[in-house]
A and B are shown apart, each in its own frame.
Chain A
Amino acid sequence: DAGVTQSPTHLIKTRGQQVTLRCSPKSGHDTVSWYQQALGQGPQFIFQYYEEEERQRGNFPDRFSGHQFPNYSSELNVNALLLGDSALYLCASSFGPSYEQYFGPGTRLTVT
């Protein structure tokens, strides 16, 4: 089991553009959470998906949206990118919404 996988590893976007990040959960896991980690800071919770629905959301604007597919994989979409969206985006999966979260390696997004 490769654990949680994320793609792409890195990407560079221009201010105003839109981006989609992808996450495949660990085998057997059905819940996916997304976190944003700015440089020098701890991860910040964006939202969590379970049973293809957003179950919980952190303090992020509507520009941040997501989706969960029937195979439990997930996407994070960010519209109208700002320079401040530059960060490492982490995906974490768990077996159910209340269990231990396993983190992926992250996607490094740079907005120029």
Chain B
Amino acid sequence: AQRVTQPEKLLSVFKGAPVELKCNYSYSGSPELFWYVQYSRQRLQLLLRHISRESIKGFTADLNKGETSFHLKKPFAQEEDSAMYYCALRGDNAGNMLTFGGGTRLMVKP
């Protein structure tokens, strides 16, 4: 079975502070990990995927297979980063099925 856990329902930081959204997963094979974001009144959209190893909107995430984690980080939060963030996993034999975590609401205060 595959599972994704986001331990924080809400994360509140001040503008300019560093941000780390935690994601832990359980999967026996070689997963592909994603971060999706949903801004207010917008649809769910892909933020980044671990195989791309790129930075999007200043966010980065590194897959740590030893700790089975894929935490999302940004050194300096901006107010426009306020949104719901979902970590998702796709297994290596699961077709295109995505398993999502429960989500973390990020609030960036001015």
**Do the two chains bind?**
yes
Q: Give A contacts to B, CB under 8 Å.
A: 3-4, 31, 33, 35, 40-45, 48, 55-56, 58, 90, 94, 97-106
Contact A103 B97 (CB under 8 A): no
> How many B residues have CB within 8 A of the partner chain?
20
Chain A residues whose CB sits within 8 angstroms of the CB of B69 once the complex forms: none
Contact B44 A41 (CB under 8 A): no
Chain A residues whose CB sits within 8 angstroms of the CB of B96 once the complex forms: 31, 33, 48, 56, 94, 97-99, 101
Distance between Cα atoms of A4 and B44 in the complex (Å): 11
B93 to chain A, nearest CB (A): 11
Contact A42 B102 (CB under 8 A): yes
Contact B43 A104 (CB under 8 A): yes
**19 chain-A/chain-B pairs, Cβ below 8 angstroms:** A31-B96, A33-B97, A40-B9, A42-B100, A42-B102, A42-B103, A43-B100, A44-B100, A45-B97, A45-B98, A48-B95, A48-B97, A56-B96, A56-B97, A58-B97, A90-B44, A98-B96, A102-B45, A103-B45
